[in-house]
Amino acid sequence: MITHEEKLQCARESLEGLSIGDALGGFFEFGRGAQNHFIKNRKIPNTEWHYTDDTNMALSIYSILRQFEEIKQDELVQSFAEHYERKRGYGHGARHILSKVKQGQDWRDLTYSIFGGKGSYGNGGAMRVTPIGAYFADDMGMLVDNAKRSAEVTHAHPEGIAGAIAVAVASGIAVNYREQDKPNIPEFINKVLPHIPDSEVKQHCLKARSISADTPIADVVKIVSSGQNMSAISTVPFTLWCAANWMDDYEEAFWQCASAGGDVDTTCAIVGGIVASYSTKTIPAKWIQQREPLPTWAFKEVTLV
């Protein structure tokens, strides 16, 4: 039987890949910086890479898993609110919800009331979820349930939840392929599809499944987008395709994902989290060193009250 410590180690490795993809990807988000020059020449910025809200919220997820061995929604939201830093680039919906939670309002009243009462279908639930998939890789039922819980507190729209479930399942499947050759794209996505609720996310993942491995990234984007509107629908299928294609090569997966443009910190966080769930061995040591150090609060033996 897999122990909590072993499961937590898988989650920690996924968090490592997520945070590095997020921090480096932030330099190229929506064409920020000398994107074409750096990506074309595979050149990394010679400065410390600061992580964004993707990692900051994933740290809370990891912390809750460490303390409770499952996602407890009230505790998760309180952690999100406690460690909220506007400079990390939070989306409008998350800023609204977390600021109100800090004022004592119940997240249940907030998350279901935004965006005309439909809830958010952005990619925020998916961007932070890979540690859950890695942690629950041995139990798909628990994995799906906990992924749903983690998304619902800020992204209550069914598409936002479906995106989080898809990414978490992909991370769990990647863990289960450890010590094996990586699956091909159709094989990998076929294992994810049965767990995704009926949704546009699922329909676009079906499209991604049929895209061949040698398809140029620009053509992949034309078929399934790459997070240009920051929705789960436009983000998740592309990231599953990228992760499946380069699951055994973190560096290549990053550059290919980044070259697509769009919401690069988030797409690279998702791809990085899935690829690292398979193995962290291909993450360049220099990349680990240049990412801003992760804070100690997520790793302390402290239980929220």
Q: pLDDT digit string (tens) for 243-290?
A: 999 999 999 999 999 999 999 999 999 999 999 999 999 999 999 999
At residue 301, the pLDDT reads 60
Considering the domain boundaries, does residue 304 fall inside one? no
Q: pLDDT digit string (tens) for 236-252?
A: 999 999 999 999 999 99
Considering the domain boundaries, does residue 286 fall inside one? yes
Considering the domain boundaries, does residue 72 fall inside one? yes
pTM listed for this prediction = 0.96
Q: How many domains does the chain have?
A: 1
Q: What is the CATH number of the domain that holds 42?
A: 1.10.4080.10
Considering the domain boundaries, does residue 40 fall inside one? yes
Considering the domain boundaries, does residue 305 fall inside one? no
Look up residue 32 and give its two tokens.
């920020």
On whether the CB atoms of residues 118 and 153 are closer than 8 A, the answer is no
Mean pLDDT of the chain: 95
Q: pLDDT digit string (tens) for 109-168?
A: 999 999 889 999 999 999 999 999 999 999 999 999 999 999 999 999 999 999 999 999
On whether the CB atoms of residues 101 and 107 are closer than 8 A, the answer is yes
Q: Which amino acid belongs to residue 260?
A: A
- For residue 46, how many other CB atoms are within 10 A of its CB? 6
Closest by CA to 125, choosing from 154, 91, 83, is 154
Give the pLDDT mean for 180-203. Answer: 98
The domain of 129 spans: 4-299
At residue 31, the pLDDT reads 67
The continuous run of DSSP H or E covering 132 comes out as helix 130-135
Considering the domain boundaries, does residue 251 fall inside one? yes
Considering the domain boundaries, does residue 163 fall inside one? yes
Considering the domain boundaries, does residue 167 fall inside one? yes
At residue 302, the pLDDT reads 43
